[in-house]
Chains A and B, each alone.
Chain A
Amino acid sequence: MNLGISATEFVSQVKEGTISVEEFVAKTLERIDKVDKKIHAFITVDSQNALDKAKAIDKKIKSKEKTGVCFGMPISIKDNICTAGLKTTCASKMLENFVAPYDATVTSQLKSEDAIIIGKVNLDEFAMGSTTEFSSFGPTRNPWNTEYVPGGSSGGSGASVAALECLASLGSDTGGSVRSPASFCSVVGLKPTYGLISRYGLVSYANSIEQIGPVAKTVEDVAFLLNIISGHDPHDNTTAKNPKIDYVKDLATGISGKKIGIISQMTGDGVDKEVASATNTAISKLQDLGAQCVPISLDAVEHSIAAYYTIAAAEASSNLSRYDNLRYGFDFGTEGYEFKAFISKARSNFGPEVIRRMLLGAFVLSAGYYGKYYLKAQKVRTMIKAQLDEAFKKVDYLISPTMPVLPFKVGEKIDDPLKLYLTDINTVTANLSGIPAISVPFAMSSSGLPIGIQLFANSFKEKELLQVAHALQGTTTLPEITP
């Protein structure tokens, strides 16, 4: 049985009856058992439940009952998205034993379409990081070379899909957290427009910029998942009330006559040579398909990293205040503690990166500094949005490499936060402005490490964005992962 098929192929094969859901899920669990010791994509694997569900879905199919469109597709979910009855740890000691009493909207949407939640996958603690090294339960490793990082913070999502431990995954993208692992693991990852997907049940890190995003092997799979999880949610006031769109339909429309802007600030200095050359190849391939590619300058991007870390840290310091271990958390009694002492003792269980960002956030919000940092960062955000609005008057899409660098080794940058922050330079723009961006696997470096290309479109233009991504994916054939 080939576990390397796409989610879409899986659905048609199950429908045709060439594979049984139970068999596929069982093989997937075997695969997890075999490879996850090395990769560590999963925090929790829900084996028994997955098998039970698979059997139930096979039965439904046999008796010709109406079956959800996922037909038992095994999907992994980042461990900062709530799943009733299954732990949601955020890869933090603070939530080591936390079981949410409810399903996130995306979780219940997947369940009601008969997806099988096969497990919860690793991340940087509370999604703060770009490498998945800051998990309290140990780092996830890149399936293409386990000495390398898988990107982050949704490293578990990227790695679990790339390592054939599931057919698709849901991650969350605050500053590139879906696209970075998609790029480093050679899979597709979408950061949708802010407000397209419900955040209800996503544990907040920086709530004004983050979105849940699908990770899968193909653009078509991503479109398929987007059909299920997008749309207005009465549980999330920030979701938009737009008419429902079918993202799979017309995916192969093509891009003839489309205009694509090459972002100068993301393709020049500081970009790895092999990454730059892959980007140029991608551009010429798109031109071959009839698109017109022109350079475009977005100078506000130069301030984007500073603005991103200011805003994200500020929101994080507030969002993470609730973890005081009074109402939920880990085993630690209140006996004998005065309130403040208890709080500081309990909160000393956060990892170093979370503490760094909370301190930074508390600082930029403190009296006298709010205007100097937080408001200024918001101004940069407005500036970026304005420049993008201008750009999208001239072009349909924007293009850049997803990551300016190739995957690096585990431990290589962990002690230099600034260096690490700078690897987000190409991804944070989409978060600060709210626009959608997708990472498409495009090439392999000479050392066999994946390179992803990033495409942007204007807000709520996911359908068009997926069309160009699909076109780009069709121009390249990439190696399959070796078992």
Chain B
Amino acid sequence: MTKIGLEIHCQLTKLASKLFCSCKAEYRNAEPNSNICPVCAGIPGSLPLLNKKAVEKAAMISLALGCTIPEKIGFFRKNYFYPDLPKNFQITQYNAYGPTSIGSDGKIEIEGKTIRIRRIQLEEDPGRLVYEGTSEKTMITLVDYNRAGTPLVEIVTEPDFETPKQVRMFLNVLADLVENIGVSDPYLEGAMRVDGNISEGDGNRVEIKNVGSFRDVEKALHFEITRQQSLVERGIAVVAETRHWDDARRITVSSRSKEDEQDYRYLPEADIPIVLIGNRSIEQIKTQMPESIVAKRERYIKKYGMPTQVADVLSSDRFYSDLFDKSHNETNAKEVSNIITTDLMGLADTREKKLELKITPKHITDLADAIMANKLTRNSGKSALHEMVKTGKSLADVMSSLDLGHVSDASSIEKVIDEVFQEEEKAVAEAKQNPDTINYLVGKVMRKTKGKADPATTLEILRKKLAG
């Protein structure tokens, strides 16, 4: 049987500052080594100052994953030499001498399967290494400390996964979860990193590192399972080691480094006093927790009779569910959810596109109401939405500039139909013989009216004319 456990590093990207200093937590797009100060650059004499908000956010993740939060939390130093570590130790949490990390012993249900969470710890991200040069001889390593000290939460699961697909589903749920509680934007580059460990039967554990995306995690795990199974079949023992995912070759490669043998010489971080959390602050954090994805989904189904699939899609995405919650009312909920899940999500299918949307709840409310009042066809609605998200203009403006008003008076439509009959003699003849081809003519009418003609009226007149 395959056993897979995960270590997920999730940056708390929604925080304003780093974990131990006031430098910005958002280091991306800054000049290398410009987002640093004596503390995060490890300048002699500087001292770490704990960002209390980071403790709160990490506690929220712990609560969301059903973990126990201890009365007191503490920090440890993990000592090892590496150029991306300004102090040559990382400030992290460590439970070997009693649980002092922000969370432990949690669980989460994924499609009926329970995944146990061993621990959650708050720690600082190291800097970033950039390799330059073409050959081994000319290769140089550049260090950018902008990322050093970024608040990071490490989530460690028990080896409860049996298939890479379960892992993928878990990661998607986890990403939605951290986004929903407003602690992280998991889709930012490098915001969520996953290491996996895999063993077959009673065999040795292999760790996989350096996997870039969730999709690659699944692929790397598949590759590794196949590799281990074929070794076992041939009677070769699996070596306990760390392997890196080679993105170019799509295989895992032995790291050759002896990282497993490394002794981190953990030591309590005396510069950061023990933090008392206590029941009262936990209760307070609980009140700050937004509605969970599960509860939201239930609410959508129960209150609005939303189809399960629509409720699933909508509740798991914080951005769209917020938009829904702000733009619907008792009467238009169904139409609003339709607009968001079928039209809007189609327009913004990537994170970048989502960020560019100039949409406000009012846009959605107005649009739903206009469609329901028959002032706009669903088709025209789609065009209006397209324009609104691009320009941010109001629905009224968009309707007049694109001339999207509904045409429903029979005489105007009849005029257009007459034109179509003249242009499409062959199709008309065919439709008379075979009523099923009538849609072609409907389409022509729609094109001429730019989708504004009321479909029901159009069909009625067409039928009448063909019969007559």
A residues within 8 Å of B by Cβ?
Answer: 81-82, 88, 90, 95, 98, 100-102, 104, 199-204, 207-208, 234-238, 314-315, 317-318, 321-322, 324, 326-328, 339-340, 343, 362, 365-367, 370, 374-375
Nearest B residue (CB) for A236: B47
The answer to whether B50 and A100 touch across the interface, beta carbons within 8 angstroms, is no
Given that A321-B79, A321-B89, A327-B86 are known contacts, is A104 also in contact with B45, CB under 8 Å in the complex? yes
Query: A207–B267 Cα gap in the complex (Å)?
Result: 12
Contact of B270 among A207, A362, A365 (CB under 8 A): A207
Contact of B45 among A202, A234, A321, A362 (CB under 8 A): A202
Interface residues of B in 37-92 (CB under 8 A from A): 38, 41-50, 77, 79, 81, 83, 86-89
Contact of A318 among B143, B267, B272 (CB under 8 A): B267
Q: Which residues of A contact B46 (CB under 8 A)?
A: 102, 200-201
Q: Which residues of B contact A102 (CB under 8 A)?
A: 38, 43, 45-46
Indicate if B234 sits at the interface (CB-CB under 8 A).
no
The answer to whether B42 and A365 touch across the interface, beta carbons within 8 angstroms, is no
Min CB distance, A444 to chain B, in Å?
37
The answer to whether A324 and B47 touch across the interface, beta carbons within 8 angstroms, is no
B residues within 8 Å of A by Cβ?
Answer: 38, 41-50, 77, 79, 81, 83, 86-89, 97, 141, 143, 263, 265-268, 270-273
Contact of B271 among A207, A328, A340 (CB under 8 A): A207
The answer to whether A237 and B267 touch across the interface, beta carbons within 8 angstroms, is no
The answer to whether B87 and A321 touch across the interface, beta carbons within 8 angstroms, is yes
For the residues of A in contact with B, the DSSP-based class is loop
The 9 A-B residue pairs with the shortest CB-CB distance in the complex, in nearest-first order: A208-B270, A321-B88, A365-B265, A201-B45, A203-B44, A82-B45, A322-B87, A203-B45, A322-B42
Query: A98–B44 Cα gap in the complex (Å)?
Result: 9
Q: Which residues of A contact B273 (CB under 8 A)?
A: 237-238
Given that A238-B271, A318-B89, A367-B263 are known contacts, is A326 also in contact with B44, CB under 8 Å in the complex? no
Q: Which residues of B contact A366 (CB under 8 A)?
A: 263, 265
Q: Would you list 5 pairs from A and B whose C-beta atoms are within 8 A, ordered by A residue?
A: A203-B44, A207-B271, A208-B268, A238-B47, A339-B83
The answer to whether A237 and B272 touch across the interface, beta carbons within 8 angstroms, is yes
Given that A102-B38, A324-B88, A343-B81 are known contacts, is A315 also in contact with B45, CB under 8 Å in the complex? no
Query: A55–B47 Cα gap in the complex (Å)?
Result: 35
Min CB distance, A176 to chain B, in Å?
19
The answer to whether B265 and A362 touch across the interface, beta carbons within 8 angstroms, is yes
Min CB distance, B259 to chain A, in Å?
14
For the residues of B in contact with A, the DSSP-based class is loop
Q: Which residues of A contact B45 (CB under 8 A)?
A: 81-82, 88, 100, 102, 104, 200-204
Min CB distance, A333 to chain B, in Å?
12
Nearest B residue (CB) for A324: B88
Q: Which residues of A contact B267 (CB under 8 A)?
A: 314-315, 318, 365, 374
Min CB distance, B75 to chain A, in Å?
11
Q: Which residues of A contact B43 (CB under 8 A)?
A: 100-102, 327-328
Select the residue from A236, A327, A339 with max chain B CB neighbours within 10 A: A327
The answer to whether A199 and B47 touch across the interface, beta carbons within 8 angstroms, is yes
Nearest A residue (CB) for B78: A318
Query: A81–B44 Cα gap in the complex (Å)?
Result: 9
Nearest A residue (CB) for B20: A237
Q: Which residues of B contact A208 (CB under 8 A)?
A: 268, 270
Q: Which residues of A contact B271 (CB under 8 A)?
A: 204, 207, 236-238
Query: A478–B19 Cα gap in the complex (Å)?
Result: 52
Q: Which residues of B contact A101 (CB under 8 A)?
A: 38, 43
The answer to whether B266 and A365 touch across the interface, beta carbons within 8 angstroms, is yes
The answer to whether A200 and B47 touch across the interface, beta carbons within 8 angstroms, is yes
Nearest B residue (CB) for A367: B263
Given that A82-B44, A88-B44, A90-B44 are known contacts, is A326 also in contact with B143, CB under 8 Å in the complex? yes
Q: Which residues of A contact B79 (CB under 8 A)?
A: 317-318, 321, 365
Q: Which residues of B contact A235 (CB under 8 A)?
A: 47, 49
Query: A94–B48 Cα gap in the complex (Å)?
Result: 22
**A324-B83, A327-B86, A370-B266 given. 10 additional CB < 8 A pairs?**
A82-B44, A100-B38, A100-B44, A200-B46, A318-B77, A318-B79, A322-B87, A343-B81, A365-B267, A367-B263
Query: A235–B45 Cα gap in the complex (Å)?
Result: 11
Nearest A residue (CB) for B50: A237
Query: A101–B88 Cα gap in the complex (Å)?
Result: 20
Min CB distance, B34 to chain A, in Å?
14
Query: A337–B47 Cα gap in the complex (Å)?
Result: 31
Contact of A321 among B41, B49, B81, B263 (CB under 8 A): B81
Q: Which residues of A contact B50 (CB under 8 A)?
A: 237
Min CB distance, A203 to chain B, in Å?
4
Min CB distance, A348 to chain B, in Å?
14
Min CB distance, A218 to chain B, in Å?
29
Query: A204–B141 Cα gap in the complex (Å)?
Result: 29
Nearest B residue (CB) for A320: B88
Query: A81–B38 Cα gap in the complex (Å)?
Result: 14
The answer to whether B265 and A318 touch across the interface, beta carbons within 8 angstroms, is yes
Q: Which residues of B contact A315 (CB under 8 A)?
A: 267, 270
